[in-house]
Amino acid sequence: MITIYSTPTCVYCNNVKEYLTKNNIQYQEIDVSLDEKELEKMVAISGQMGVPVIDIDGDVVVGFDKEKIDELLKLKP
């Protein structure tokens, strides 16, 4: 299960979503600008307010760290 905590104006969030879509990987998106409880959850798991925060089966990636995402999803470069 992949969850992306994002906001509508975040360029890196959109880049992550485009990258996952291009690789046919499904994800759940949570807009933390609309949901304070989810924002608090995101801060609790990541330790920060910045987006995107990507939760990949319990592994947390902060920002669009393509190498880390590829490693966790076993995507070949």
Q: Which of 23, 46, 71 is nearest to 4 (CA)?
A: 46
pTM: 0.93
Please say whether the beta carbons of 64 and 75 come within 8 A. no
Rounded CA separation 14/1 (Å) = 19
Instruction: Tell me the Cα Rg of the chain.
Output: 12
The domain segmentation of the chain, as residue ranges, is 2-55
Q: Look at the domain 2-55 and name its fold.
A: Glutaredoxin (3.40.30)
Using CA atoms in the order 43, 26, 18, 77, what is the torsion angle rounded to 10 degrees? Answer: 100
Tokens of 73: 């999803």
- Per-residue pLDDT for the chain (77 aa), expressed as one digit of tens each? 999 999 999 999 999 999 999 999 999 999 999 999 999 999 999 999 999 999 999 999 999 999 999 999 998 76
Residue 76 has a pLDDT of 76
